[in-house]
Amino acid sequence: MGPPPFRVRWRAVHRDVVPGRAFSDVQEAGPMRRWVHRHNYRETADGTTEVIDRIWYRHPGGLRGIATRLLINPLTLRLLFAYRAFATRRAVARLRAE
């Protein structure tokens, strides 16, 4: 994950899968002491899908913890999810145009 020289190895597994409804990404190995990202999907009244994300995380201690706090914090997560929402809308619009 990330561009060189800031590349970080991160391995997560999908757990608690509810087909078409939800799943969690749980860190098995990576920079954080703990990371659980829950994705929930819900159909709205207008037939679109609402994506609801919840993240629980804990930073490690020491120098590594300083680095993760700089890279993974409420502001950077908001920016990441704003970009993801934009990219997802763009991808769906392209599929609809085909």
Beta-carbon neighbour count of residue 77 at 10 Å? 14
Model confidence band, residue 98 (pLDDT cutoffs 50, 70, 90): confident
Percent above pLDDT 90 for the chain: 72
Beta-carbon neighbour count of residue 12 at 10 Å? 15
Task: Answer yes or no: are the C-beta atoms of 16 and 22 closer than 8 Å.
Answer: yes
Please state the pTM of the whole predicted model: 0.82
Q: What is the pLDDT of residue 33?
A: 97
Model confidence band, residue 8 (pLDDT cutoffs 50, 70, 90): confident
DSSP state of 96: H
Mean per-residue pLDDT, 72-92: 92
Residue 92 tokens read as: 């769906």
Q: What is the pLDDT of residue 11?
A: 95
Distance of alpha carbon 48 from alpha carbon 44, whole angstroms: 5
**E strand or H helix at 27, and its extent?**
strand 22-29
